[in-house]
Structure formats: C-alpha cells, structure tokens
Structure 1
Amino acid sequence: MTFGWRAMLKIKHVPEQLLDVTVLPVITTLMFTYLFGGALADSATDYLQYLLPGTMVMSVVMTTMYTGLAVNTDIRKGVFDRFRSIPMWRPAPMVGYLLGDAFRYTMASAVILALGLVLGFRPRGGPVGVLLGIAVLVAFSFALSWVWTALGLVLRSEKSVVGVSMLLMFPLTFLSNILVSPATMPGWLQVFVNNNPVTHLVAAVRDLMTGHAGTELAWVAGWGAALVAVFGPLTMWIYNRR
C-alpha cells in the first residue's frame, strides 16, 4: 500500500501523465464512433452500443505498458538500489506500481463510460453490469501489467520498453473484435482473432454490460491467471538477480 501511494503521489506531482487515460480515450471513442458508425451500422448511435466496450478495453490495455516504463525509469535513476536495501516484502515495489496503475485504469473506464452515456450508449445490463464489466477489465489489466514489469526490468531504455510494448499490443488490440465482429473477417484471420485474449476480454465486458454472463468470463479468468502465474514469478526472479 505504501508503494501504491507512492505511485499516486507521482500522479499528483505530474498530473499531465493522466492525459493518456482522460483525453486520449475521449479522442479515440469520438473518432471511431463517427468515422465508422455510418459505414458499419448506418448510425453512429447504433454502432456506439457495440463499439464503446471495445474502446474502453483498448484504451485501458494500451495504458498497461506504462507500468514497465515506470519500472525502467526507476531502475535507470537508481531508485531500485535503495529499495533493495530496505527490509520489506520483496514484491512490494512491483505490486505498488500495479495498484497505482489500477487507479488509472478505473479512471479511463469512467471517462469513456461518461462520454458514452452522453453520446447515447445505453447498457442493458444496468449499473451492476457496467460495474462488473469495469471490474473484470481492471482485474485483467492488473494481470497483463506483469508482462510489462518483466520487460521493464530486462530492456535497457525507456524507448525500448515503449517500442516492444507497442509491437505486442497493436496486433492484440486491432486484430480483435473491438471494432468489428470476427464473423466479417477472412477465415484464416478468425483463427487468430478468436483465440486472442483481448477478444475474450472485450466479449466478456460486452456480455456483462448487456446483462449476460457467458463462457467468455472463464476465458478471461484463465488468461489472467496464466499471465500472473508466468510473469509474476518471472518478474521477481529477474528483479532478485539484477
């Protein structure tokens, strides 16, 4: 909790770092809604019902990479050398980063939801479905962030962290069901899209916001558990060896 509070203080002193979870999600949602709404659904409002859970997922999972960037920055500044000399729970700095970022994920989700309600988004699942959808999204993003903490410990510069993270996240986000249904894609592409963890996440959030809870939740839970089980211990092994 102490390291989580440290992450919150960094936001307080550098508030412009919240632009990627406030301004950018607004731009993304408006852009996709009015660029593609008429072409894909004959109505921007109708398309928004399908799109908004997708843009919410895209905006949040894309910001998870900044966890690795923060880790890499602290290593470069020598802050981690001081942490290692303090008698404390060894994973505390890493978990603290992730707790602080969970606030950012929740803020991004709230901003997109508020904008969507203004534009005409009407979740049939009601407040409970919306809150459950956001909770699933934040929990999965917490699990995904462990990937970037491992990369932040291994890669040698901030630019490398951003470059590798974008290289991984762009295919996962755009080759998914965020913008269009996989049924409209070529068969060979559907194989990747239907097994993409982001696809399962978007489908689960959509189901919850429309008042359904299908098998997609099990897929999301499985992917999240696998990410934590693999990259959590890997992150700590790298951290202890550096």
Structure 2
Amino acid sequence: MIRHIALFTGYELKKAFSNPIWPLFGIMQPVLYLLMFAPLLKSLTPGGSTVDALRMFTPASMMMIAVFGALFSGFGLIADLRNGSLERYAVSPAWRPAIVLGRVAKDMIVLVCQAILVLVVAIAMGVRIGAVELVLVLLLMAATGLFASGLSQGLALTVRDENGMSQTLNLFMLPVMLLAGLFIPISFAPAWMQTLAPINPLYHAVEAGRALFAGRLSDSSIPIAFAVFIVLAALTTVWSMRSLRRIAG
C-alpha cells in the first residue's frame, strides 16, 4: 500500500517538475503577493507597520496557497481520464486508492515547499513566530490543502470536463476569497458579510492562522479550524476514492 502510494507520488512529482515553469509560477506567486500586497495593508493594522501587515497577511497567504494551489490539481486527472491512462492505472495490480492518494501526496509536498518559501520571506521581512505556533500553522495548512486536493480530485472525476470544472471553480472562488477575509480582514466588511463569513470553511483557517501568528494559542478559532478541516479532508478524500472506484467499474 505505502509502496504504491510512493510510486504514484514520485510519478506525479516527475510530471509536475518536467516543465519547471508551472512549479516556478506556483511558488513565486504567493511570494509576490507577500512582497507587493502586504505593504498596502499597513493602514488597516493596529500598529500600522509592515511587520504588523505581514503578520496579518502571511497566514492568509499560506491558506490561499493551500486551497487554490491544490484546488486545480484535478485538471491533470481529467487529462489522464481522457487519454485512457486512468483506466490503465485502475486495472493494474496497484492498490487503486493509491492513484488518488499519490496525487494528494504530491500536492502536499508542493504546498510544503511553497509554505517554507513564504515563511522564509516573511521572516526576512521581520515577522516572528514561535515554534509551536509554526508547527500548528503548517499542520492547519496541510489539512486545508488535503481538503482542497480531495475536493479537486472528486470534482474532476465527477465532472470529467475541464470547462465544466473551471466554471464551477470560478463561480465559487471570488465569494470564498472575500468571505474568508484573505486580503482584507472580514471585520472591515459590511455586517451581512460578517454574518455569512462563518459559513465559509476557509474563514476559520484564516482566523486561526492569524491567531497563531499573533501568539494567541488559546484562541477558540484554532480548534474550530482544525476540527472543520480534518472532517472536510476526510470526507473529500473518501469521495474522490469512491469516485475513482465508480470510474474503474
């Protein structure tokens, strides 16, 4: 089982890095957000400094990477489904769930690389975070990315069309970003948006990340975010594996 997951993970990583342009863009985009967007938030932070703005925006940037970095990974699965590769994998002696889990593991490895780079840039710009808080942020980011990756694989196997999948993702992307307070804290939003925000799972991850970067380990948003995304990650992963089983017959 583990060997099969490792084989599919290695295969997916090889495909991802066979064209270095896309991994490079995926890694550099959040860094550019950090360098160019965070300074614009200085006037919205209590301290009014770049470090305060980074302390608010860095965890949001990490959660954005986790969700939107993994959410588009299912397009590769649609391509494999179209060219017949997925069916060949499914009838091979390999453990069938490893086909999905290998892709999910690849997404997690890429997310870790992106998170490390973002943290290095944030620390170089003056942000400081404790060891316990850092570990919890990375674990929360992993749970968030696991949910997004499982959702992407399951959606790809259900829709089986790039246009339909892209339209579905684009429909929900903007409201999810705004209601999560990714760029501007939700406390600055109108009252009706603040009322709707807790319905959005990503809101809880962003709030927990900001609490951890502020050193508030006792903040109630942290256990809520972990509970939400552990449950969602389990549900979407199971859904994607069951969708693959239906495809394979």
TM-score (norm 2): 0.87
Q: How many residues align?
A: 239
How much has 1:228 moved relative to structure 2?
3.5
Counterparts in 2 of 1:87-126, with a 5 A limit?
87-123=93-129, 126=130
Assess if the C-alpha contact under 8 Å between 2:180 and 2:186 holds in 1.
yes
Partner in structure 1 of residue 142 of structure 2: 138
- C-alpha distance in 1 between matches for 2:41 and 2:233: 36
Partner in structure 2 of residue 238 of structure 1: 243
Q: Which stretch of the first structure deviates more once superposed, 69-78 or 95-104?
A: 69-78
Partner in structure 2 of residue 221 of structure 1: 226
| 1:63-109 CA-partner distances (Å, limit 9, x unpaired) | 11122112112112211111121123221100000001101111111
Counterparts in 2 of 1:1-242, with a 5 A limit?
1-37=6-42, 39-41=43-45, 42-123=48-129, 126-213=130-217, 214-242=219-247
- C-alpha distance in 2 between matches for 1:181 and 1:233: 33
- C-alpha distance in 2 between matches for 1:225 and 1:26: 27
- C-alpha distance in 1 between matches for 2:127 and 2:176: 25
- C-alpha distance in 1 between matches for 2:161 and 2:117: 31
- C-alpha distance in 1 between matches for 2:27 and 2:233: 27
Q: 5+ residue gaps in structure 1? A: none
Q: Which stretch of the first structure deviates more once superposed, 182-191 or 98-107?
A: 182-191
- C-alpha distance in 1 between matches for 2:236 and 2:187: 32
Assess if the C-alpha contact under 8 Å between 2:144 and 2:233 holds in 1.
no
How much has 1:229 moved relative to structure 2?
4.2
Three-state SS of the structure 2 residue aligned to 1:238 is helix
Q: Which stretch of the first structure deviates more once superposed, 90-99 or 156-165?
A: 156-165
- C-alpha distance in 2 between matches for 1:31 and 1:171: 23
- C-alpha distance in 2 between matches for 1:22 and 1:130: 19
Percentage of matched positions with identical amino acids: 26
Q: Cα gap change, 1:121/1:70 in structure 2, threshold over 3 Å: closer, same or farther? A: same
Q: Cα gap change, 1:220/1:20 in structure 2, threshold over 3 Å: closer, same or farther? A: farther
RMSD of aligned alpha carbons: 2.0
